[in-house]
Amino acid sequence: MAPLTPDITRARRLVIKIGSALLVDRKSGLKTDWLKALAEDVVATKARGTDVIIVSSGSIALGRGVLGLPAGTLSLEQSQAAAAVGQIRLARAYEEVLAQHGLTTAQILVTLEDTEDRRRYLNSRATMETLLGLGVVPIVNENDTVATDEIRFGDNDRLAAQISVTIGADQLVLLSDVDGFYSANPAVEPDARRFDLVERITPEIEAMAGDPVSEHSKGGMKTKLIAAKTAVAGGCAMAIMKGSIDCPITALAAGAPCTWFLAQADPQVARKRWIAAMKPRGRLQVDAGAVTALRAGKSLLPAGVVHVSGDFERGDPVAIAGPAGEALGQGLVRYTCVEAKAIAGHHSGDIAQILGYAGRAALIHRDDMVV
Ligand code: GLU
């Protein structure tokens, strides 16, 4: 049976990655008309009930123009300065075009460390979840001002893939300067053919992407393929398409050329697999009432916990055991072991009084748990 190409009109949660070249012109600055058209895409997508997250580059390109920095490669410090100047304008541009449609935007700046540190990862995930629940359109970029070379993504293709997996998006579209993934570099080989669909990223496919980051552009085909690997393994289908046309998402819905990389699992399933594969750093023993609640798909509240052991930090994986010590599953805990011990057996409403600060109601949220 032929695999189904993802349908953008049926996305549950869509991440759109926008490259600098689409948004910023060397001479004239921000490409306002293109951005206005993109806002229409966002409105149409949200009207279908799809959550939209935008990962946008452009801060460095915008900032270097404002600062009048010379053409050519910028030093790290210059890029960081340009990013600081440009990001504020970039965020305002999105804010303005989307506000015209009554949409609220939020700025989220992340670093590679934010996605690698489980505690920060859980925090940013929770914030984005809340924003999406409120109908907000998050505008994400790398926090270039603090990210130095060793600790940065450097390209927003991979950042977008990581964000997609973090928030359980089912589709990611990379708006690019090429209309898809080719069997060879089409600029060099006239016979190169574009794939409509890549079901699996095999070594043969990888070989077609060419050499790693020797190119001038930050996000060459190689980084796009790395992004695709992250996305599809995390349950998110990814498309590469040419973004320079007006309303690219509407065009994609109408059948514009692109390459889709098929997701290898449902995002939720992939996430649970990821959690299940971790080595637990502690153990929470729960009562019979909690067992019933967990089996019914509820979060684990402190009230149902009878014993806490191990040495864990917030965001660490912990095992969950039943009244007789039987293994029930595991999850990412939202409190440290010291805090968990203090609030075990208590109602969530008492957490603030016990700890002296308000925390989250659940010890382990159901999305962060495998039972
Ligand atoms: N974060 C950079 C910026 O906003 C761009 C990175 C990229 O082009 O992928 O300028």
DSSP sequence for 15-31:
EEEE-HHHHEETTTEE-
Contacts of 291 (CB under 8 A, 6+ apart): 322, 323, 328
Instruction: Locate 227 and state its tokens.
Output: 């992004």
Which residues, in sequence order, are bridge partners of residue 52? 14
Q: Which residue do the tokens 């689409």 mark?
A: 22
* pTM to 2 decimal places: 0.82
Long-range contacts of 66-70 (CB under 8 A, 24+ apart): none
58 within ligand 1 shell (Cβ under 6 A): yes
Going by CA atoms, what residue is nearest to atom 4 of ligand 1? 57
User: What residue type is 104 in one-letter code?
Assistant: T
105 within ligand 1 shell (Cβ under 6 A): no
144 within ligand 1 shell (Cβ under 6 A)? yes
- Nearest by Cα to 301 from 271, 270, 340: 340
Query: In whole angstroms, what separates CA 264 from the centre of its chain?
Result: 17
What distance in angstroms lies between residue 64's CA and the mean position of ligand 1's atoms? 12
Q: 314, 334 in Cβ contact below 8 A? A: yes
Which atom number of ligand 1 is nearest to the Cα of residue 159?
A: 9
All structural domains of the chain:
8-270 (3.40.1160.10), 278-370 (2.30.130.10)
Residue 348 CA to residue 361 CA, distance in Å, equals 5
DSSP-based three-state secondary structure for 280: coil
Q: Residue-wise pLDDT tens for the chain (371 aa)?
A: 556 899 999 999 999 999 999 999 988 899 999 999 999 999 999 999 999 999 999 999 999 999 999 888 888 899 999 999 999 999 999 999 999 999 999 999 988 777 767 777 777 888 899 999 999 999 999 998 877 665 566 689 999 999 998 898 999 999 998 899 999 888 888 888 999 999 999 999 988 887 644 333 445 788 899 999 999 998 999 999 999 999 999 999 999 999 999 999 877 787 787 788 788 999 999 999 999 999 999 999 999 999 999 999 888 899 999 999 999 999 999 999 999 999 999 999 999 999 998 888 899 999 889 99
Q: How far is the C-alpha of 138 from the C-alpha of 157, rounded, in Å?
A: 17
pLDDT at res. 219: 53
